[in-house]
């Protein structure tokens, strides 16, 4: 990213704010102990980038990190494109895109999420998940 526009269009920086989560008030970053009430320190950052070679042409890669997230994980998510030819167009398959998730920590393993046709007549599609964990 060599120019301001590309940097602006492909990055996000933010700071968590006070909010209500399931009826419980959660402090914002500036309300935390020992934090300057005027702080502009980021607590969330995301970047979208591309690898400049033939194999990964036009494939976006995303890196996100944040404080105060509901879970602490390190994982790689490969989100497969929806096929152009949709044989189950009216079945909600667009909400069931296939994903390969490689969990690095904690609970190392692989999770595959994919949409599958429900057996029998009709064209109903459901989410199927398969998990492969590394024994401890």
Residue 8: helix, strand or coil by DSSP?
helix
What CA–CA distance (Å, rounded) separates 85 from 5? 35
Domain span at 20: 1-68
Q: What is the pLDDT of residue 95?
A: 56
Instruction: Tell me: do 115 and 56 sit in the same domain.
Output: no
Among residues 92, 72, 74, the alpha carbon closest in space to that of 82 is found at 92
Domain end call among 42, 68, 94:
68
What CA–CA distance (Å, rounded) separates 117 from 20? 38
List Cα–Cα distances, 24 to 9, 17, 27, 40, in angstroms.
34, 14, 10, 25
Domain count along the chain: 2
6, containing H or E segment: helix 4-10
Instruction: Tell me: do 76 and 136 sit in the same domain.
Output: yes
Q: What is the pLDDT of residue 28?
A: 92
Q: What is the pLDDT of residue 72?
A: 86
Instruction: Tell me: do 77 and 135 sit in the same domain.
Output: yes
What CA–CA distance (Å, rounded) separates 93 from 126? 8
Domain end call among 20, 43, 68:
68
**Mean pLDDT of residues grouped by 10 in the chain (136 residues)?**
90 92 90 93 92 87 87 85 63 66 88 84 81 78
Instruction: Tell me: do 75 and 132 sit in the same domain.
Output: yes
Instruction: Tell me: do 93 and 54 sit in the same domain.
Output: no
């Amino acid at each position: 990213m060599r120019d301001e526009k590309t940097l602006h269009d492909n990055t996000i920086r933010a700071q968590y704010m006070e909010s209500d989560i399931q009826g419980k008030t959660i402090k914002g970053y500036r309300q935390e102990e020992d934090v300057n009430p005027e702080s502009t320190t980021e607590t969330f950052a995301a970047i979208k980038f591309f690898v400049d070679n033939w194999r990964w042409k036009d494939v976006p890669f995303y890196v996100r990190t944040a404080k105060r997230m509901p879970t602490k994980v390190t994982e790689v998510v490969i989100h497969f494109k929806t096929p152009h030819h949709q044989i189950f167009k009216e079945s909600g398959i667009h909400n069931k895109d296939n994903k390969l998730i490689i969990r690095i920590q904690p609970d190392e393993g692989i999770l595959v999420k994919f949409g599958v046709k429900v057996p029998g007549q009709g064209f109903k599609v459901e989410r199927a998940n398969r998990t492969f964990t590394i024994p401890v």
